[in-house]
Every structure is written in C-alpha cells, then in structure tokens.
C-alpha cells in the first residue's frame, strides 16, 4: 500500500490523545503541529469533494493508499491530478457559499465520464503456447554458477535462478526444409580405403526424406488443400525444390504405411452392430412426402 505524499498522514492514537489533552486543557509543545496537520487533512478532503468524478472510494484510496498493480494508466493519472492542490481551478481558501455551489453544480456527473481501469493482461501469447518451437538451451560464455560477481566492488558469487529468461524468435522457412550435411572423408594412402564421418543421431543414411516430411506433404495436400504444383512453386522459391512427381511418390508412401490400419478399421466396422448416419441437414422433399403418407408400421426400421 502506497500513500499519497501530498496528503498529511497521522495516527488514530495521536488524535485520541490530542482530544483528551484538549478536554483537560493541557496542550503539549508539539500539539500545534498536529492540529495544523489535521486541519490540512480536512481542507484536502473538502477540496476533493468539490471536484468531478470524486467518490468515497477515491477519497479512501487517496487517504489510506491503493495497490499500484490495480491501477490503470488513466485512473492513476486522474488520481494524481486530484491529489494536487489547486487542481480543477479549486482553492482551499474558497468561502463556504462558493464551495457549496461548486459541489452542487459539479456533483451531477454522468456515468459515461467515469474512467474505468483497463483489464489485466497484455493480449500477447505466452511462451508456453509455442508447443512446436525448437528448444535451444544457452549458457554464459564467460560466467558460470559459483563464479565471483563481475561487478566492481562486489564480493558476492553467482548462482543460477530456477526460471530462465525465455526469448521467442520466429523465422520463415519453406514448408519442407532441408539440411545439408558435409561429411569429411579420410582415405588411406596405401590401401585407399575411405572413412566417412558419421551422421548425427536420428538421420537415416539410406533415406532422403524423413517420416515427418512425408506426413507434412500429405497434410498440406489433403488437409490444407494446397495442390502439388503450388507446393512445388513455393518450395522452389525458397531454394528447396520439391517437384510435383516427388510429392506424389511421398504421399503414396504415406498411404502404403497407413493402408493396413485402414483395412483393420474396415474389419472392425463390419463387426459393428450400431451405425449412425448423418449425411446432410437438408430435407429431401420427395422422401418427406413419401414418409408422410406411409403408415406408422411401414416406417419402422426392420
């Protein structure tokens, strides 16, 4: 909770003690400053009551504080303007008659003038929403946990926090990307036998297309509706050629791999005992007229 620095602050205990001393007629040396502080608070409240869009909640927030995270930019600006002395042309030296006339004229404010705080959140997607992003873990090049702090004059040591700093970086690439592996070759000067560097783990040396590439081509064609020739032009423009005939061959490989599953589903459907068919929501008028004149017994399913 943060109080407004322009409004004097006091304590309830001090006020009760001051009241007792006033009843007994025994004022201390610092009571004059306390009375001045209370009068300034009274004048501030009276000044706030004269202005537009002033409510009990606003006065309470100004006197006792408000959490800054609940304030929008517009509302914080309005509260700061209201807390300044002499804002909106009002003065603490106005007469009671002028104060009452101002409060009567300005007290009737329409609900449309009330500034509402903005909703929390920035409208952006969180890093956890990027489930398909490739994760790359980076390390400090010159520092490690346990090293001394590089700040001059600091004698502390570095430790790694549990939550890292996440950076989402989006790049463009063709639908099917390619990776070129240059494998150095060593040859014996005597027997002329060659030794080729091994490929990374997960790369099949006997195949050119990964299974994910075959599935992506089929999805873009039969789920995304992108024809083979359009995919070929896009791939060619990105520097990764993929002719239409090659795309058809890869889709055929996917079909051959999924065909046993398709046959098994047909076998399971043949053994089924209950079928639900819903091909269209539009009524066929000819069938509707036939059913209208048929008896209830003839319309029953067999």
Mean per-residue pLDDT for 136-162?
85
107-116, 157-166, 215-224, 246-255, range with the lowest pLDDT: 107-116
Give the model's confidence band at 62: pLDDT under 50 very low, under 70 low, under 90 confident, else very high: low
CA–CA dist 40, 43 (Å, integer): 5
Q: Are 79 and 71 in contact (CB under 8 A)?
A: yes
Q: Is the pLDDT of residue 220 over 50?
A: yes
* CB contact at 8 A, 232 and 242: yes
37-55 burial, b at 16+ Cβ within 10 Å, e below that, comes to eeebeeebeebbbbbeebe
pLDDT-derived band at 172, boundaries 50, 70, 90: confident
The reported pLDDT for the residue numbered 1 is 44
Residue 149 has pLDDT above 90, yes or no: no
pLDDT of residue 57: 75
For residue 107, the model assigns a pLDDT of: 47
pLDDT at 73: 56
pLDDT score of 111 more than 50: no
pLDDT of residue 250: 94
Evaluate whether 117 touches 75 at the Cβ level (below 8 Å).
Answer: yes
| Mean pLDDT to the nearest integer, 39-63 | 73
Banded pLDDT at 174 (limits 50, 70, 90): confident
If we measure between CA atoms, which residue out of 63, 70, 78 comes closest to residue 12?
63
Which of 23-32, 35-44, 72-81, 162-171 shows the lowest mean pLDDT across its residues? 72-81
Summarize the confidence of residues 6-33 as an average pLDDT: 75
Task: Give the range among 95-99, 140-144, 205-209, 297-301 with minimum mean pLDDT.
Answer: 95-99
Which H helix or E strand runs over 185?
A: strand 185-187
DSSP string, 192-247: --EEEPPPPTT--TT-SS-HHHHHHHHHHHHTS---HHHHHHHHHHTT----HHHH
CB 228 within 8 A of CB 175: no
- The mean pLDDT of the chain is 77
User: How far, in Å, CA of 91 to CA of 44, rounded?
Assistant: 10
**What pLDDT is attached to residue 242?**
92
What's the pTM? 0.44
Q: What is the pLDDT of residue 133?
A: 83
| Position 105 pLDDT exceeds 50 | no
Mean pLDDT of 205-219: 91
């Amino acid at each position: 909770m943060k109080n407004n620095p322009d409004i004097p602050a006091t304590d309830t205990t001090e006020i009760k003690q001051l009241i007792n001393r006033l009843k007994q007629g025994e004022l201390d040396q610092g009571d004059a400053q306390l009375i001045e502080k209370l009068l300034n608070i009274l004048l501030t409240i009276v000044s706030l009551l004269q202005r537009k869009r002033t409510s009990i909640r606003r006065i309470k927030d100004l006197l006792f504080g408000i959490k800054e995270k609940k304030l929008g930019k517009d509302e914080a600006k309005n509260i700061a303007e209201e807390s300044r002395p002499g804002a909106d042309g009002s003065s603490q030296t106005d007469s009671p008659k002028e104060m009452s006339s101002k409060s009567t004229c300005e007290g009737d404010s329409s609900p449309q003038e009330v500034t509402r705080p903005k909703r929390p959140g920035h409208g952006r997607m969180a890093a956890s929403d990027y489930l398909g992003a490739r994760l790359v873990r980076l390390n400090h090049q010159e520092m490690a946990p346990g090293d001394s702090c590089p700040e001059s004059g600091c004698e502390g040591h570095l430790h790694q926090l549990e939550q890292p700093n996440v950076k989402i970086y989006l790049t463009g690439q063709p639908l099917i990307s390619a990776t070129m592996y240059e494998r150095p070759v060593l040859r014996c000067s005597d027997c002329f036998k060659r030794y080729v560097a091994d490929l990374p783990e997960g790369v099949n040396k006997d195949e050119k297309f990964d299974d994910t590439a075959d599935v992506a081509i089929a999805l873009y064609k039969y789920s995304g509706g992108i024809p083979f020739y359009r995919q070929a032009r896009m791939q060619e423009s990105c520097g990764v050629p993929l002719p239409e005939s090659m795309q058809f061959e890869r889709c055929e490989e996917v079909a051959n791999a999924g065909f046993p599953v398709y046959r098994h589903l047909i076998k399971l459907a043949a053994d089924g005992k209950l079928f639900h068919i819903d091909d269209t929501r539009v009524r066929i008028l000819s069938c509707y007229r036939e059913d209208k004149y048929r008896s209830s017994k003839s319309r029953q399913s067999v």
